Amino acid sequence: MSRSPIVSPLRRVNWGVVLTALPLLVWIVGLVLWPQLGLLLQSFYKVGGDTVTLANYLSIFQDSDLIFLRVFGKTLLYTLAIAALTLIVAYPMAFILAKVLKGRQKLVFILLLATPFWVNELIRVYAWIGLLRETGVVNYLLVDVLRVLPAPIEFLYNDIAMLVVFVYSFLLLMLLPIYSSLDGLDDTLIQAAQNLGADRISVFRYVVWPASLPGVTSGLILVFTLSFSNYLIPTLVGGKSSLWVTQLIYNRFVVATNWNLGAAYSFILLAIASLVVWGLLKLTGQSLKKVLGS
């Protein structure tokens, strides 16, 4: 076969390519890179000041009670826990979907699993508020129906509630990539491994898990970044003590109207998030394009 690219007639009409490239460039440069760079620049100035300074960044060490560092650290820890929990909850389902269910049953299950996630995130959070709050359905069942509790308890506004809702919100983002990785795994490989004497655990360890790794990585990255930068769930479901880093940033921008400081906080968030994503990719030996490109 010819090793050469086919010369398309479009090669002669370069403006066609230019016309195709223009929207993309305006978008990425105008709406993404430039604003991000602008924000980055802002973070190096004090409010109203005109000298470059690291003061905004250094201020995190001078907060009263080191509030930023504490909140940041807690958010990071919780986010990693959320990613891990979601993985544990979603993995078996992804496996069942890819390898146990067949044909029509499989299609029905895919629809069944995907449907709730088309629903607005706010509604999904609201649904849990309706379940868990003091006048909620769970309390009604425990107090009025089953009579195991003398009086309603507030199940909302604590860390456990927050974790449950986080996992609920991002389940599909974990499930789908793992499912599609596993779906691509040839069943005969599992059979071959068994045929060669592997037990269940070895089959999982040497055949199933490596095949699902791109999906797992992609799911972890999505769940991690989206929970890290989430504002709704900690605000609506979390308690006073579950302050999230995005709430802190929001406060700098809106309550304190200190954009420069807010920008600095944002970039710390971005940098740490990128670092974790990078670490995940290194750990699993995947690339961002491979993981998010499909």
Partner 1 sequence: MNPISSPSPARLATPFALPWAKLLRWIYVALFLLYLYLPLGIVALLAFNDSDLPALPWRGFTLDWFFDPTGDRKGIFNDPQMLGAMGTSLLVALGVTALCLVVGTTAAFLFERYPFPGSAALYFAMVATIVIPGVILGVALLSTGNLVITVLRDWLGRPFVSAIGLSSLLRPGLFLVILGQFSFIGALATIIIAGRLRRFPIEQERAAMDLGATRFQAILRVTVPYLMPALVSAGVVSFLSSFENFNTTLFLIGNQPTLPILFFSRLRFEITPQINAVSVLLMVGAMSLGLLSLLLGRRNSPEG
Partner 2 sequence: MTDAVDVELRDITKAFGDFTAVRDVSFAVPRGTFFSILGPSGCGKTTLLNLISGFQEPTAGEVWIAGQRVNGVPPNRRKVNMVFQRLALFPLMTVFDNVAFGLRMAKVPQAQVRSRVMAMLETVGLTGMERRLPSQLSGGQQQRVAIARCLVLEPAVVLLDEPLSALDLKLREHMKLQLKHLQREVGTTFVYITHDQSEAMVMSDRIAVMNEGQVLQVGAPDEIYSLPCHPFVASFVGESNTFQGTVVELSEDSAIVKDGAVQMQLSRTPDMAVGQSYLQFLRPENVRLLPLDGDRDRPENQVRGRVQSVIFDGAIVRCLVNIGRDRPLTTLFTRGTTQAVPYVGETVRLGWRAADVIAFPAQHRDQMMQLQKAQFAEV
Shorter beta-carbon distance to partner 1: residue 57 or 253? 253
Residues 79, 227 contacting (CB under 8 angstroms): yes
The one-letter amino acid code at 85 reads: L
Please report how close the Cβ of residue 78 comes to partner 1 at its closest, in angstroms: 15
**Which of partner 2, partner 1, none lies near 190, with the C-beta cut-off 5 to 8 A by kind?**
partner 1
Shorter beta-carbon distance to partner 2: residue 3 or 104? 3
**Which of partner 2, partner 1, none lies near 229, with the C-beta cut-off 5 to 8 A by kind?**
partner 1
Q: Identify residues 46-85 at the interface with partner 1 (CB under 8 A).
A: none
| Rounded Cα–Cα distance for residues 51 and 53 (Å) | 6
Q: Identify residues 83-102 at the interface with partner 1 (CB under 8 A).
A: 89, 92-93, 96, 99-100
Shorter beta-carbon distance to partner 2: residue 7 or 254? 7
135 contributes a contact to partner 2 by CB under 8 A: no
| Among the listed residues 169, 153, 152, the one whose alpha carbon sits nearest the alpha carbon of residue 230 | 169
The one-letter amino acid code at 8 reads: S
Shorter beta-carbon distance to partner 2: residue 12 or 102? 12
What single DSSP character describes residue 258? -
115 contributes a contact to partner 1 by CB under 8 A: yes
The residue count of the chain comes to: 294
| Rounded Cα–Cα distance for residues 215 and 73 (Å) | 27
**Which of partner 1, partner 2, none lies near 3, with the C-beta cut-off 5 to 8 A by kind?**
partner 2
| Among the listed residues 5, 151, 178, the one whose alpha carbon sits nearest the alpha carbon of residue 96 | 178
